[in-house]
Homo-oligomer: A and B are copies of this chain.
Amino acid sequence: MQEERLLATERKYTGKVLKLDLDTVELPNGKMTVLEILRHPGASAVVPIKEDGTVVLIRQLRHAAGGFIYEIPAGKLDHHEDPKICAARELEEEVGYCAGTLTLLTSIWTAPGFTDEIIHIYQASDLQPGRQNLDQDEVLEIVEWPLEEALAKIQDGTIRDAKTIIGLQMVVGRKK
């Protein structure tokens, strides 16, 4: 099937992180449509895993989620930043570890119905102590669980964050 054709774009909002556009598009079926699209810089996320199989997660206050949720360390890309550099930085800043090895697991579309956000998910191993350095609006605590326990918390609905579920499950996929 053919691709679409962008006919016009109108920026409706420009914020600190997000931009919102109204794009007029001609679809391959000849129909015209106007789509709301949220432009996002993209992000990196990291599954930090120790030699003994312990994973390092955070319990973080997320305004959009209405409270604290469990996540892997993650953060937005700086302008034109290499996602691997971003992953290493967020790992150290959020949970205080440096990774000897960072391996890309996958890159996901979080919500392609309305945003171009991609999250690059890495596995971090050969962990060494680093220095935690939280932004002033980051409210979180570190939790460490055996990988099996984290997986059980996906099944029982304790872990509901998309990138976190995918990262944990892809670490298991690689071990097989």
Checking B108, B114, B162 against A64 with a beta-carbon cut-off of 8 angstroms, the contacting residue is B114
Give the total of A residues in contact with B, Cβ under 8 Å.
65
Chain B residues whose CB sits within 8 angstroms of the CB of A1 once the complex forms: 61, 68, 139, 141
Is A84 at the interface (CB under 8 A from chain B)? no
A interface, over-half SS: mixed
How far is A12 from B38 in the complex, measured between Cα atoms in Å? Answer: 13
Known: A63-B23, A63-B37, A139-B28. A111 touches B162 (CB 8 A): yes
Checking B27, B38, B61 against A28 with a beta-carbon cut-off of 8 angstroms, the contacting residue is B61
CB distance from A2 to the nearest CB of B (A): 9
B107 touches A157 (CB 8 A): yes
How far is A125 from B52 in the complex, measured between Cα atoms in Å? Answer: 38
Copies in the complex: 2
Which residues in chain A, 53-112, are within 8 Å of chain B measured between CB atoms? 61-69, 71, 74, 76, 106-112
CB distance from A124 to the nearest CB of B (A): 19
Q: 5 other contacts beyond A1-B141, A110-B111, A111-B115, with CB at 8 A cut-off?
A: A13-B20, A15-B36, A35-B63, A64-B114, A162-B166
Residue positions of A touching B, CB distance < 8 A: 1, 3-4, 12-13, 15-18, 20, 22-23, 25, 27-29, 31, 33, 35-38, 40, 43, 61-69, 71, 74, 76, 106-117, 136-137, 139, 141, 151, 154-155, 157, 160-163, 165-166, 169-170, 173
